Amino acid sequence: MYNREYTPERISELKPNEIFVFGTDPEGKHRSEAAQIAIKRFGAILGKAEGPYGQSYAIPVHKHRRRIMVEAVSAFIDYAKSNQDKFFYVLAIGCGAAGMDPAFVALMFRNALNVENILLPKLFVEQLTRYYEIGVKISDDCMTVIRYPMDRQGKYTLPYGLECLGEESFMGCSCDLELPQTLKRIEKWAFTDMGSFDYYLRIPSSVTFIDSKAFECEWVSPGLAVVYKSYAYYYAKEHKLRYKCVDFDEEALSREQRE
């Protein structure tokens, strides 16, 4: 899948046909250590947050507007494909001071795995290797889980940055999931007929939509761990799902009120 060297951890000089690919803030202020190196040594320009300058290529890091960053990475990959005479050293963009999840940022670079003139950091390659070994399918914009393999068991932590669990994404699966706080939507039949669900699935407070058929099951519906008075809390009560509050003892409150 990836049969070439990794991006070196530190780059101080480049050959004439090599390009330093770094992440920067959306305003192009270039405040990170890598961005400072790009300015001092490789031709980056203040105020220019995206594109090629000298022997550098800037990619804007959008921690909270992730779709824009996905588009910027896609544009970079297309640029590299059209400049086969150059080699592009991609740093672990967004995974330093910006604090983004490497598993999520690596997904943005999926289409670079087979582009021979793009070198990726070992961190990204390891994350992508695991992604393909697991067999989970995530949308091109990195926002939606399309399908999780039914035959894979054990714990799986979804990358921090995903926003949606698509239709039938975990249908019939038997796994222990940890959902990210960036999750917003759970579509219909996402958790239909889970093979084994003897734990409470924690629904993040960030979720603002759950389809009425998201947890529709022929036998036993899964239990939900929810934040008191969150969207998922009211959803569980409305649909008569088994639930518990993770931040509040609702049963104790009920006893007090009865007394």
- pLDDT score of 107: 97
pLDDT one-digit tens code per residue, 221-234: 678 999 999 999 99
With beta carbons less than 8 A apart as the criterion, state whether 195 and 173 touch: yes
pLDDT at 110 over 90: yes
- pLDDT score of 168: 96
pLDDT one-digit tens code per residue, 44-58: 999 999 999 999 999
- pLDDT score of 197: 57
pLDDT at 176 over 90: no
CB atoms within 10 A of CB 156: 16
Nearest to 127 by CA among 158, 106, 100: 106
CB atoms within 10 A of CB 1: 9
Written in H, E and C, the secondary structure of 21-49 is EEEECCCCCCCCHHHHHHHHHHCCCCCCC
- Answer yes or no: pTM beyond 0.85: yes
Using pLDDT thresholds of 50, 70 and 90, give the confidence band for residue 128: very high
Rounded Cα distance between 86 and 80, Å, is 8
pLDDT at 257 over 60: no
- pLDDT score of 253: 60
Two structure tokens written together for 143: 């926002």
- pLDDT score of 172: 85
- pLDDT score of 63: 84
Written in H, E and C, the secondary structure of the chain is CCCCCCCCCCCCCCCCCEEEEEEECCCCCCCCHHHHHHHHHHCCCCCCCCEEECCEEEEECCCCCHHHHHHHHHHHHHHHHCCCCCEEEECCCCCCCCCCCHHHHHHHCHHHCCCCCEECCHHHHHHHHHHHHHCCEECCCCCEEEECCCCCCCEEECCECECEECCCCCCCCCCEEECCCCCCEECCCCCCCCCCCCCEEECCCCCCEECCCCCCCCCCCCEEEECCCCHHHHHHHHCCCCEEECCCCHHHHHHHHHC
- pLDDT score of 192: 87
What mean pLDDT, rounded, does the chain reach?
Answer: 91
Using pLDDT thresholds of 50, 70 and 90, give the confidence band for residue 193: confident
pLDDT one-digit tens code per residue, 23-33: 998 888 888 88
Using pLDDT thresholds of 50, 70 and 90, give the confidence band for residue 173: confident
- pLDDT score of 219: 63
In the chain, pLDDT over 90 holds for what percent of residues?
A: 73
With beta carbons less than 8 A apart as the criterion, state whether 103 and 180 touch: no
- pLDDT score of 148: 95
